[in-house]
Amino acid sequence: MEENIKFLRSGILAPIKKWGTHWSLWPVHLVTACCGAELAHAFASGYDGERIGALNYGIARQTNLIIVEGAITRKMARVLRITWEQMPDPKFVIIMGTCGLNGGVFWNSYHLVKPFEVVPVNYFIPGCPSTPEALLRGIRQLQNEIRTGEPRSSIEFEKVDLGKGKMMPVTPKSPKKISLAPSIVVNVPRKADEETKKLADEISKLGLATTVTGKNRIALRVEKDELVDAAKKLQNFGFDHVKNVNVIDVPNEDKFIVEYHLGSYSKRELMPVVLNLFTELPRSEPKLKSLAKIFPSADYMEREMHDFFGVVFEGNEWMGRKFLLAPDTPEYPLKKDFKLEEEKYLR
Amino acid sequence: MEYEIKVPVQPPTELQSLFIPIPPEYVEEVYRSEDFLVLVGPQHPGSGHMRLIVRVHGDIIREVIPDPGYVHRCVEKIAENRLYIQNIPLVERPSIMDALNFNLGYVRAIEDALEVEVPKRAKYIRTMLAEICRIGTHLYDAAILAVFLGHTTGFMYPFGIRELICEVLVRITGARFTSSFIIPGGVRRDVDEQTLKFVYETTFAIEKRLKSFERIFIKNPTVIARLKDVGVLTKEEAIKFGVVGPFLRASGVEYDVRKVEPYEAYGELDWDIPVADAGDSYSRFLVRVNEISQSLKIVRQCIKNMPEEKLKDFRGTFFDEFADIVLPQGEFTTLTEASRGTLIYSIVSDGESNVPYRMRMITPGWLYLRGFMESLKGERLADLQAIYGSFGYFPPEADR
Amino acid sequence: MEALVISHQKQIGDKMLEGLISGLFKIFTSNMMNIPLIEPLVDYLMQIPLVNLLVALILWRPFFAVIILPGLVGLLIYLLWIVYWERKLTARVQWRVGPIEVARPIRGAIQALADGIRYFFQEAIIHREAHKIYYIQLPILAFIPILLPLLFIPAGNVVGIKTPYGIQLIVAFIALIPLFIVAMGWASHSRFAYIGSLREAFMYFAYEIPFIIAVVAMIYVYGSGDPYVAVEKQNIPGAVLNPLAFIVYIIAMIMATSRLPFEIPEADQEIAFGPFVEYSGILFGLVMTLLYEKLYLMALLFVILFLGGWEGFYVGILGDFCAPLVLFIKTVVVISVLVIVRSVYARYRLDQAIRLGWTSYLTLSIAALILGMFVGVLV
């Protein structure tokens, strides 16, 4: 077997094999993140990657090139590895975009992995997103490598001597100012137009205390146990869907603020209004009744919040399972106790 | 009369090794009930960056369980860790073809909190840019729909037209996709007359090319056969599942944030909301096609009515001027009509920090995912891709 | 003594071999192609021993028909051309240029060759769940129903096996190909392959009956299943004699070879190439060309039935070679025109295609049959 492989790589037929592979680099359809838009441009009318023999093709078994389009998440890393293993030999990997190189804007994200730790990589293409020209150039470089056998970078950067130049007297401070004891109030009253005030009064008549927090924005605070009742009342009033389910973690006051932003599509005068129905939970026992039965539109967002904060929405059948996050993600990453890596400032 | 086939059915072993968010009991139950589980994605020629667990009975889809999160890049957590203005490039990454709408929504939330007055010319430029991005996104979705139906020409034409959009964006902002051009209190720099003239002419070029797209794809009998009466969401269902944007309007609800809560220059311009009643895949597609022509109209009006005013150029001084923004205490929620629907930013500030305490970003994709899943029920397996394409579901946008 | 026996045996062996060679030579030369253009060369080569056997074999009519033209060599040339042409034509429709850089002076015409070579040298994966023996065998076995019809397709007096039931036999063998595709899907043991096999089987029902009826209609028109009779009777082309059958046959060609809008069994966006999902390397190269080969066979029959077969131009200097050439050119032109549907139509759904097949399409084919009967009486 070893001999056969050696024969293929350097025997009499090797030049023919190289020529065929050279002109037939077919990238597999594995879209991993947003650079996919530029990849599509590179293979569409404008740039036409088919000119150089690269044809974006269906599945891993029939192709020989993976173009990783940007960020690889923990969930996608597994898929990337499986795809790479499914691919017949010889196989190549090109990584597109800064996210694959060093994380890019998402460098300290808790859900990202470095693709070069998952699969062996032939070429990196910088850019956020990389332009189609850059991608096609990357493919050309790979073709050159196949033909000549030696990898070559298409850009030579100037060497910078870090010892030279003036050094800052002190390490610069981070521009960030973060309050140590933040006080979070969701329903700060603000001035608004008459119509919103009138509407707030009308809602108040249902027995719910409202605050006007801006034009067309009304906040409504209820106790944890009254949430379902209030939601039912508001549904009868005309609010028919949930735009947003939000949890705010306030560790120094030991509470979670759970918000439901309600909206209406069926009543014309309620259309612009966003009603913030919120309640507070103790951090030690974050449990409340789910509104997914009343507003099915809240279902997926409740699952998401469960992933992020560990708030249990009783009655939502997905509780206890991960929905958006990979199983190996750190627990409840959006809680304030979970800290991301901070930027380091160098002198 | 039906004959019962007594063959012991065993769940396939391959499912055990994969990570899928469904319990093994569910898999077993499916196989006992003569159904079939098909896993579509993430590496599948007709799927984006997500997995759909499709339970089919014969050729009919019984249930679809989504497995999103393959592109979850934690925008919300990262945003809590950066300055307000450093988040501008971050929030437009989830949906890069629609970057300026996403940019606009976030900036508006800051402006709403600080009560900043935006110059009128800047408002017009922002509106124009948002609409250009809307055209681009609708074309992108049309292209994806076409390729899902196996129509490669329908894929290539919109991308050919999109090159014009990219060119326009490059001339105005300097970047093909993610330009971070809109900043609190205006835009980064003024747009000169020559560029505006180019944009104006480009709208006609786009219109002309759209005609050939219409001939080959929109009015193609095979396309109509595939999309008509497929994946119907009635008005009640659409409201119940909180569908947004063009997909809501295709079900007969006349809801557009640009009309119900006008922002920027939308209140001063003359345009209509395209609405359809059928709620099927074809009307979802047609609504967006009609929106393209409305957007072209808006762009032309913006250029014609552009007020003469001198805008400040922020190049070079940007960081110094904006780094130390501190929002007042409270929660600030803005609704924006991004291309695929309502985009919600909700920024919670403690009034002391210059980073958001919590930034909640709800993208249209995440909002209509539920409606998308419901509309698949009862359809054929082959329609999965047609409906997927008709929703223009873009997982990076939904997962954030 | 022993040496004598051995030499005697050797002599007998030599004699037998000589007899065999001369016998074969006699068979080959008795039915040799007559091509005036290369006659001097053939005459020269015929004087060299053993080489003359080879030359005689190549120019032996049955061999030439099956292996050279319209047989395997023609098939290979056609494959390289049509894959390139399809990509190039599609690219032209789509505001692109298509493959070009591989060979700029000839507009990238050898792109298909590069792809073929890449497939040939790629690793052929046989996955754990596959039925190994069948999985490898079937793509190769699928060549049987491709090769057998070539035996019966005549081009002038160049023909493998001459039989008055030629057309029926060709149709019968073409009908075997879907069986192999279904079997491949079964052997792949993958859920997409399984769905693809089912779709292939359903599509088979949708097109096969109208297709056979269309052919039968033409047999009625010509009054015989003999390709020679069919071509002889086409003073007016068959397409004019029975336009309904002509239309039915064209649709059948598109449906049977999974071209858009009926690319349902392979539907890559829906079920990821269906039966072929797991094939890789040279095995995928084989299965991918299978449908192109089927299209070639059906188009050959199409040309014989509707477009006057090998009757076209006659160049004296080409002699017997002229008929296969005309047939081949006509076939390739027909297919080259046909591939444009790929860039125009989207894919139908399975139920729509079957409904189409069993209603309007079947009706049309029956109308073609009735028309064929009438025309058959008149002609």
**CB-CB contact of A64 with C123 (8 Å):** no
Q: What residues of chain B lie within 8 A of the CB of A33, using their CB?
A: 49, 71, 73, 396
Tokens of B324: 């130390």
The pLDDT assigned to B14 comes to: 56
Which residue of chain B comes nearest to C350, CA vs CA? B382
Mean pLDDT of A1-22: 81
Of C129, C347, C349, the CB nearest to B380: C349
Measure C349 CA to nearest chain A CA, in Å. Answer: 19
d(CA A35, CA A45): 17
Chains touching chain C, criterion 3+ CB pairs below 8 Å: A, B
- Which chains have 3 or more CB–CB distances shorter than 8 Å to chain B? A, C
Alpha carbon of B340: minimum distance to chain A alpha carbons (Å): 15
Range with the poorest average pLDDT among A314-323, B94-103, B141-150, B175-184: A314-323
| Residues C133 and C32 reside in one and the same domain | no
- pLDDT band (50, 70, 90) for residue C102: confident
Phi, psi angles (nearest 5°) of residue B363? -95, 155
8 Å CB contact between C209 and C362: yes
pLDDT digits (tens, 9 = 90+) for A302-321: 888 888 888 888 888 888 78
Q: How near does any CA of chain C get to the CA of B216, in Å?
A: 7
The alpha carbons of chain C give a radius of gyration, in whole angstroms, of: 24
Q: Are residues C225 and C372 in the same domain?
A: yes
Q: Stretch A34-50: mean pLDDT, rounded?
A: 86
- Asked if B226 lies within 8 A of C349 by C-beta distance, the reply is yes
What chain B residue is nearest to A334 in terms of C-alpha separation? B77
Residue-number span of the structural domain to which A104 is assigned? 11-148
| pLDDT at residue A101 tops 50 | yes
Describe the crossing of helices C2-30 and C51-59 by its angle, rounded to 10 degrees: 30
Is the domain of A15 the same as that of A123?
yes
Q: Residue B320's CB: how many other CB atoms inside 10 A?
A: 9
Assigned token pair, B347: 């920024």
pLDDT digits (tens, 9 = 90+) for B37-69: 888 878 887 777 888 888 888 888 888 888 888
Range of the domain at C312: 126-378
Q: Could B220 and C342 be called an inter-chain contact, meaning their C-beta atoms sit closer than 8 Å? A: no
Contact yes or no for B380 and C350 at CB 8 A? yes
Assess whether C140 and C56 both reside in one domain. no
**CA end-to-end span of chain C, whole Å?**
76
In a domain, A181, yes or no: no
Mean predicted confidence (pLDDT) in B77-86: 87
Note the pLDDT tens digit of each residue in A276-285.
888 888 888 8
Are A123 and A224 members of one domain?
A: no
Task: Give B399's contacts (C-beta < 8 A, 6+ positions apart).
Answer: A324, B49, B50, B68, B69, B70, B71, B72, B73, B94, B366
Mutate to test the interface with C, among B222, B227, B229, B285 (most CBs of C within 10 A): B222
Interchain proximity C111–A48, CB inside 8 Å: no
Q: Quick one: tokens of C234?
A: 């086409």
Q: How far apart are CA C99 and CA A23, in angstroms?
A: 10
Q: Measured between CB atoms, does C269 come within 8 Å of chain B?
A: yes
Mutual orientation of helices B364-376 and B383-391 as an angle, nearest 10°? 150
CB A248 to CB B357 under 8 A? yes
C268–A45 C-beta distance less than 8 A: no
Distance (Å, whole) CA A330 – CA A117: 19
Q: Which of C90, C269, C349 minimises the CB distance to B147?
A: C269
| pLDDT tens by residue, A81-97 | 888 888 888 888 888 88
Longest Cα–Cα distance in chain A: 89
pLDDT in tens, C135-158: 888 888 888 888 888 888 888 777
Please write down the HEC assignment for all residues of B7-27: CCCCCCCHHHHCCCCCCHHHH
Asked if C98 has any chain B CB less than 8 Å from its own CB, the reply is no
Domain ranges for chain B, please list them.
14-67, 75-399
Give me the residue from A52, A64, A88 closest to C101, CB to CB: A52
- Is the CA virtual torsion C48, C51, C55, C60 positive or negative? positive
Q: What distance in Å separates the CA atoms of residue A306 and residue A111, rounded to the nearest whole number?
A: 16
Residue C3 pLDDT grade (very low, low, confident, very high; cuts 50, 70, 90): low
A13–C94 C-beta distance less than 8 A: no
Give the CA distances from residue A51 to residues A140, C117, C150, in Å, rounded to whole numbers and listed in that order.
11, 18, 35
Chain A nearest C-alpha distance from C105 (Å): 14
More confident residue, B105 or A157: B105
Q: Chains A and B: how many Cβ contacts under 8 Å?
A: 249
DSSP code, position C284: H
Categorize the per-residue pLDDT at B7 as very low, low, confident or very high, splitting at 50, 70 and 90: very low
Closest approach of B196 to chain A, Cα-based (Å): 23
Residue of chain A whose Cα is closest to the Cα of B259? A272
DSSP-assigned letters across all residues of B282-350: HHHHHHHHHHHHHHHHHHHHHHHTPPP-PPPP-TTTHHHHHTT--PPSEEEEEEEEETTEEEEEEEEE-
Tokens of B28: 């077993």
What is the reported pLDDT for B16?
56
Which chain C residue has the Cα nearest residue A44?
C96
Shortest Cα–Cα distance, B2 to chain A (Å): 35
Q: Are residues C347 and C241 in the same domain?
A: yes
Report CB contact under 8 Å: A17, C100: no
Q: Tell me the angle at which helices B193-213 and B152-173 cross, rounded to the nearest 10 degrees.
A: 170
A21 and A141 in a single domain? The answer is yes
Of A108, A243, A248, which is closest to B78 when you measure between CB atoms? A108
How far apart are the C-alpha atoms of C305 and B47, rounded to whole Å? 43
Amino acid sitting at position B206: I
* pLDDT tens readout for residues B158-186: 999 999 999 998 998 888 888 888 888 88
Q: How far apart are CA A71 and CA A115, in angstroms?
A: 8
Q: Is residue C89 part of a domain?
A: no
Kindly indicate the confidence band of residue C315, based on its pLDDT and cuts at 50, 70 and 90. confident
Instruction: Tell me the C-alpha distance between B378 and C366, whole Å.
Output: 35
Euclidean distance between CA atoms A169 and C56, whole angstroms: 94
Min Cα separation C355/chain A (Å): 28
Of C269, C270, C346, the CB nearest to B220: C346
Split into its structural domains, chain C has a count of 2
Q: What is the mean pLDDT of chain B?
A: 85
- Report the percent of chain A where pLDDT is more than 90: 0
Domain spanning B75-399, CATH architecture: Orthogonal Bundle (1.10)
Answer yes or no: do C240 and C342 share one domain: yes
| Ordered alpha helix ranges (H), chain A | 2-10, 14-22, 36-42, 74-86, 98-102, 132-148, 194-204, 227-237, 299-309
Please tell me what DSSP assigns to residue B265.
Answer: T
Contact of C349 with chain B, judged by CB distance below 8 Å, is answered with: yes
> Does the beta-carbon distance from B36 to C191 stay under 8 Å?
yes
Domain CATH for A67: 3.40.50.12280
The number of distinct structural domains making up chain A is: 2
Q: Which chains touch A (3 or more CB pairs under 8 A)?
A: B, C
Question: If you average pLDDT over residues B96-103, what whole number do you get?
Answer: 88
DSSP line for A81-141: HHHHHHSPSS-EEEEESHHHHH-GGGTT-TTEE-GGGTS--SEEE-STTPPHHHHHHHHHH
ipTM above 0.90, yes or no: no
What's the pLDDT score for residue B204?
92
The shortest CB-CB distance from A24 to any of C91, C115, C124 is to: C115
Taking the CA of residue C271 and the nearest CA in chain A, the distance in Å comes to 10
Instruction: Tell me which residue has tokens 């119900």.
Output: B260
CATH number at residue A276: 3.30.460.80
Of A50, A51, A53, nearest to C114 by CB-CB distance is A53
Q: Which of C13, C38, C61 is the last residue of a domain?
A: C61
Does the pTM of the predicted model rise above 0.95? no
What mean pLDDT comes out for the span C257-272?
82
Considering the domain architecture, whether residues A32 and A142 belong to the same structural domain is answered as yes
Provide, as residue numbers in chain B, all residues whose Cβ is less than 8 Å from the Cβ of A188: 328-331
Same domain, A85 and A208: no
Provide, as residue numbers in chain C, all residues whose Cβ is less than 8 Å from the Cβ of A83: none
User: Do C195 and B38 count as a contact with CB atoms less than 8 A apart?
Assistant: yes
What lies within 8 Å, CB to CB, of A29 at 6+ separation is A56, A57, A58, A59, B43, B44, B45
Phi, psi of C116 (to 5 degrees): -60, -45
Interface probe for A, chosen from B74, B106, B360 (most Cβ of A below 10 Å), is B74
